[in-house]
Amino acid sequence: MRTRQLPGALIAGTALAAAVLLPAPAGAASAAPTASPAVTYTNPLVNRRADPHIVKHTDGYYYFTATVPEYDRIVLRRATTIQGLSTAPEKVIWTRHATGEMGAHIWAPEIHFIDGKWYVYFAAGRTDDIWKIRMYALESSAADPLTGAWTEKGRIATPMDSFALDATTFVVRGVRYLSWAQKDPAIDTNSNVYIARLANPWTISGTPVRLTVPTYPWETVGFKVNEGPAVIQRGGKVFMSYSASATDSNYCLGLLTASATGNLLDPAAWKKSPTPVFTSNTATGQYGPGHNSFTTSEDGGSDILVYHDRGYKDITGDPLNDPNRRTRVQKLHWRADGTPDFGIPVADGATPGRLASHNFPDHYVRHREFRARLEADVDNLADSQFRTVTGLAGGGTVSLESANFPGHYLRGRNGEVRVERNDGTAAFRESASFHQRPGLADPAGVSYEAYASPGQYLRHAGFLLHVQRADTALARQDATFHQH
């Protein structure tokens, strides 16, 4: 969250990597899509809430907590849907102390359900020393943590009595761990990420281990920071994201990876990505994405990335005094090699999705050099993400807007389909609008009939997208897609 009191230098957003066209399979092969189903949310989810943490509980509710810009209290919301958290009533469950410990800088709360009780981890300073930040825990045995009483369990003690924050907990192979960020006075960094076993939810067991120190240039802009760990597990691997650099537009996410069967208390068991996995994006207007958590979609079929950012780059004064970090959510995707693909922080509004081919279910619609085509293993996720919006031509149509080139749409022209910028003409509006139909080869999928050419559909041929008739069985398969 924030080890710093002065703003760092501002940098531009991420560059988009060029894609490589893979060889096309020899022939069409019908198969059911294997990727998780589409989910759509509207961003920002909650304004003026940073360091967001969302947990899906067995009672059917999502629970949400986050840092408030006044840094003076801990709040909770709950709703049966992620989007419902946007308007859910908010309850103050704890307020900072008037004197002494836990009296200032109430930061980064997380809510966890452990052994039948609720726990909230948070960081706080002292009223007489606001930068003496340490970690603390609250406990509640109530079924509903919004209405139940909370007990202070006190400080989470670590061997170093130094700046410490951003506690999170997770279980791997039956062992519960705590991970957090802390300053080591012996080295020249603002904060590093640590891990230890837990004897109980508020007590560390054994000697903590340092997992990562900010050393890469993208981790040390403005301040030398690794903080805000968050864990997601999949396919026998443990992935720990963390935040790096100053809390302005330089803020970004890094990633550590370990085998679930390895010794997680051995730093050598963790591999650190040499590049950030989630950064500012000028095209979508999102700056300083970071301090994330993970949850799952309502149907349980998709992993959801939860994070904060700002909708502008330039900040006057200390970024910690800027109140406009906001909570956002978007689908987390997975590569064929089993690693998470964070993509880019998508534009405000409805989140985008992907279109998988019905007859080549591991191939997705994507653009490369603005030509629309099908590819597997898309190396730049955002090239294969499109937002379904109200059709530019109206009349009950839809248009498909590029995720990484907002204002650009899939457009049929001279039979070819390209991603082009809306030039405001009637011809563009008509050629970039489609009637969304049940899938011609599978009603569970979708097909897109061209508004400007009734009876013709978006379809692939030679792994390039065209607007053509779909009057054969193969053509109907080629014109059917599944939303992911």
Structure tokens at 225: 């920071």
Q: How many residues does the chain have?
A: 484
Interior CA angle at 41 toward 39 and 44, to 5°?
Answer: 150
Q: How many CB atoms lie within 10 A of CB 94?
A: 18
101, 110, 166, 227: the catalytic one is 227
Residue 275's Cβ-count burial label (10 Å; 0-12, 13-18, 19+) is: exposed
410 φ, ψ to 5°?
-65, 125
Residue 51 designated active-site:
yes
51, 166, 248, 401: the catalytic one is 51
Pairing type for strands 408-413 and 42-43 reads unpaired
d(C-alpha 199, C-alpha 236), whole Å: 24
- Strand segments (E) across 297-431: 303-310, 326-334, 340-341, 349-350, 355-357, 363-368, 371-376, 386-390, 398-402, 408-413, 416-421
Q: Enter the DSSP assignment of 36.
A: P
Residue 369 designated active-site:
no
d(C-alpha 448, C-alpha 433), whole Å: 9
Q: How many CB atoms lie within 10 A of CB 127?
A: 16
Which residues participate in catalysis according to the annotation?
Answer: 51, 227
